Structure formats: structure tokens, C-alpha cells
Amino acid sequence: MEVAGWSGAILILLAYLLLSMGKLTGQSLAYQAMNIVGAAGFAINGWWHRALPSAALNVIWMLIGAIAFSRLWRRGRATAE
């Protein structure tokens, strides 16, 4: 569970660093995927440690990322056709 939490933290921080450096945009699939997987790691770790506010926040963060990812994916597929 600690590996999930630390991995999640590293992914979210890396996503933010890359966004801040201009290497990724908020509209990139990579940025959204990093946030989804990172939030999942945090949610698992938070649930395990019974840190329910943190777990709930990260489930919501993950859902927001999943919706954004889905929209970007569909938009990319529509322009490729």
C-alpha cells in the first residue's frame, strides 16, 4: 500500500512539473493519464490507512481525470477519421 501511495505522489508531482515546464498541456492524454493513475494510488493508500477524506478527494480527482481523458480520446479519434 505504501508503494501505491508513493507512486501516486510521484506521478501527480511529475505531471504538475511537466505541465509547469510546458512539456505537457492540460489537454494532453499523458497529463490526464498521469493524474488518473496517481490519484488511484493515493486513493488506495488513503483507503488502506482509513484517511477517508483523502481517499474520497482522490477518487473525485480520478473521476475528473477520467472524464477529461475520455473527452480528449474521443476528440482525437473524431479528428483522425
Reported as a single tens digit per residue, the pLDDT across 28-72 is 999 999 999 999 999 999 999 999 999 999 999 999 999 999 999
**What is the pLDDT averaged over residues 9-18?**
97
Distance CA 56, CA 47 (A): 8
Biggest distance spanned by C-alpha atoms of the chain? 46
Q: How far apart are CA 32 and CA 19, in angstroms?
A: 11
**pTM for the full model?**
0.91
Query: Both ends of the chain: CA-CA distance in Å?
Result: 42
